[in-house]
Structure 1
Amino acid sequence: MGLPFKELLPESVIEQALTEIKIKYHQRLFDPIVTLWAFFSQVLDTDKICHNAVSKVIAYLAGQRVEIPSTDTSAYCQARSRLPEKLLEKVFSQSGQGLEEKVVTEYL
């Protein structure tokens, strides 16, 4: 379990998007990177409740051997509401371009 988007959408891609649109953030549990991974997992989950997204973050952190946060969803929900739409657009665009380049390279 954990955060499957960590593998599919690398931290470096999100950091590049944050830099390009000049978003600064504080290092905390629900920074834009972890929040995006959790949000994408939540959107694709059949049961879209915030608790499931927070549970995936907790599972991810358990593997990191760090202090496990509360299961309270308020911090995640607040962090998710702070995600700028421009960040989502940029990440989707970069991911799409990367996929398109792979397809073009492999099938020429």
Structure 2
Amino acid sequence: MTLRVQILKDKFSQSLGLPFKELLPSSVIEQALSELKIRSYRRLFDPIVRQCDFLSQVIEADKSCHNAVSKVIAYLAEIGVEIPSSDTSAYCQARSRLPEKFLENL
């Protein structure tokens, strides 16, 4: 792994919230959804939040769903939205609905 990639990985894994939300514009995610004709609903773990959280989960040392949901909770607290339960089942179910083709397109 190059030094630059390692520095970015360290930065993102140490940040609270959803750091990939700043790097991966919603429009890019919405375009990938549209191309694959994937319908989504406005929910807590909508495709944008889910994808940004999943990317964080992949690079984290702690890859648990609990840690991933904690990142979403930190993000929601930061933007002043009501804090949901820390139960991981909704996140895990939402994440499992992302087709591999969607991830490839991003």
Structure 2 Cα separation of the partners of residues 81 and 5 of structure 1: 19
How many Å apart are 1:27 and its aligned residue? Answer: 0.7
Q: In the alignment, which residue of structure 2 is the partner of 1:77?
A: 92
State the TM-score, normalized to the length of structure 1: 0.82
Residue aligned with 1:22, SS: coil
Q: In the alignment, which residue of structure 1 is the partner of 2:34?
A: 19
Identity %: 74
Structure 2 Cα separation of the partners of residues 54 and 8 of structure 1: 19
Q: In the alignment, which residue of structure 2 is the partner of 1:103?
A: none
Structure 2 Cα separation of the partners of residues 83 and 31 of structure 1: 11
| Structure 2 unaligned spans of 5+ | 1-15
Q: Which residue of 86, 100, 106 maps to 2:101?
A: 86
4+ residue runs of structure 1 moved beyond 3 angstroms? none
Q: In the alignment, which residue of structure 2 is the partner of 1:96?
A: none
Q: In the alignment, which residue of structure 2 is the partner of 1:39?
A: 54
How many Å apart are 1:11 and its aligned residue? Answer: 0.9
State the TM-score, normalized to the length of structure 2: 0.83
Bigger Cα Rg: 1
1:16 counterpart letter in structure 2: Q
Residues 7-45 of structure 1: CA distance to partner in whole angstroms, max 9, x if unpaired?
Answer: 111111101111111111111001111111111100100
Residue aligned with 1:25, SS: coil
Q: In the alignment, which residue of structure 1 is the partner of 2:83?
A: 68
Q: In the alignment, which residue of structure 1 is the partner of 2:18?
A: 3
| Structure 1 unaligned spans of 5+ | 92-108
How many Å apart are 1:50 and its aligned residue? Answer: 0.6
Superposition RMSD on alpha carbons, in Å?
A: 0.7
Structure 1 Cα separation of the partners of residues 25 and 88 of structure 2: 24
Structure 2 Cα separation of the partners of residues 35 and 66 of structure 1: 16
